[in-house]
Amino acid sequence: MRELFIGIMSGTSLDGIDAVLVDFSAERPGQLAHAHRPYTSTLRDELTALCASGPDEIHRSQRAAIALAHISAELVAELLAAAGLFPADVRAIGCHGQTVRHMPADGYTLQINAPSLLAELSGIAVVADFRTRDLAAGGQGAPLVPAFHAHVFSDATRSRAVLNIGGMSNVTLLAPGEPVRGFDCGPGNVLMDGWIARARGLPYDTDGAWAATGRVDRKLLDGLLSHPFFARQPPKSCGREQFNLAWLDAALTGSERAEDVQATLAELTAVSVCQTLVSAGFSAEEIAVCGGGALNAYLMHRLQAHTPAQVFNIARWGVAPDSVEALAFAWLARRTLRGEAGNIPDVTGAHGPRILGAVWPA
């Protein structure tokens, strides 16, 4: 019999919501359907604003959570229609929510979510609030996807890295016979997206084409790489609290060409990832890239320029790059219902394995 779950993910890139329908009846999860809904400019602007202090935050955040629940319910209906299924056929939805604050040093992380409303609208049980139990146990609450990466992508003979480049970048290190390691590397697309939005009014740099017209500003790059996060040892995680346009502005002289800044930001992402692998003492044979960064040809080229490992889109392994994190939260929801731990303490820094998430029945 099929064991069906839905995973819903919206990342720090704030580009929209991805949802997948997954069958866990076989050893390897089988994706049956995928749906994506981009954020409207109004919702994206509101979510971006909620990442910093502002007026009437409680009301605005709850209104945003309600809007996200309605979008998620529409995506669930789309997945069920595509597969010819009914809500009763799906055991649960794993819904991550939209991160607007990630402050593990202060003991909290906040994902805007309305799981009760999503359960009511979809007719399916919802598992949410995955990160706070790990934080309560002394962890960072992130990254959580390495456990899923290890389950699906480990190889008995090859050392592999799974690199997710969303708003931030994080990596999972998979070496035969060794414990799974994983951590955030720094900014992924967040600065590149923010800079091109400001300079050219575009949501992202398609294929990195604009960055490719610029030149890397070495002085600016060195200044950005001096951020203390890059020298910190794992466990570590980051967010827009550390890496944002205000931080970038403080490093600019004002005389830089806009395209050179874009090229430098792409280089920052590539260099910070590859330096992190070196500092971890990990010699990957393969680096499989997922998230929006996998679709940036220029960024993929710059990654390859800084590592002897083979860099490629994770689609080579039969998984769409924009589905991986949604798949992971469907998998984590399944573990919650099975009473199984979802974190890796060596990755997050938690005191031990913990069952993650809470359940909102249908």
Which tens digits make up the pLDDT trace of 223-254? 999 999 999 999 999 999 999 999 999 999 99
Question: How confident is the model at residue 70, as a pLDDT?
Answer: 98
Tell whether 333 and 260 lie within a shared domain: no
Based on the fold, state whether residues 100 and 160 are members of the same structural domain. no
What pLDDT sits at residue 104? 96
- Going from the C-alpha of 239 to that of each of 142, 153, 302, the distances in angstroms are 10, 26, 22
By the 10 Å C-beta count (0-12 exposed, 13-18 middle, 19+ buried), 254 is classed as exposed
**Is the domain of 229 the same as that of 311?**
yes
pLDDT of residue 267: 98
Please tell me the predicted confidence (pLDDT) of residue 152: 96
User: Is residue 166 domain-shared with residue 283, that is, in the same domain?
Assistant: yes
Q: Please check whether residues 120 and 247 belong to one and the same domain.
A: no
CA distances from 202 to 41, 224, 301 (A): 11, 23, 22
Longest dimension (CA), the chain: 63
26-66: per-residue pLDDT in tens?
A: 989 999 999 999 999 999 999 999 999 999 999 999 999 99
Task: Give pLDDT, residue 1.
Answer: 87
328 and 210 in one domain? no
- The domain tally of the chain equals 2
Do 152 and 260 have their domain in common? Answer: yes
Residues 153 and 294 grouped into a single domain = yes
End-to-end CA distance of the chain: 21
Our separate counts of H helices and E strands in the chain read 13, 12
Residues of the chain with pLDDT under 70: none
Q: Are 75 and 205 contained in the same domain?
A: no
* CA 267-268-274 angle, 5° bins: 85
Co-location of 241 and 154 in the same domain: yes
Q: What are phi and psi of 343, to 5 degrees?
A: -100, 165
Do residues 10 and 128 share a domain? yes
CATH code of the domain covering residue 184: 3.30.420.40
Confidence (pLDDT) at 36: 97
Domain with 269, as residue range(s), is: 146-317
Residue at token pair 């995680």: 237
CA distance 109 to 141: 8
Is residue 151 domain-shared with residue 300, that is, in the same domain? yes
pLDDT value at residue 30: 96
Which residue from 339, 19, 344, 341 is spatially nearest to 359, judged by alpha carbons? Answer: 339
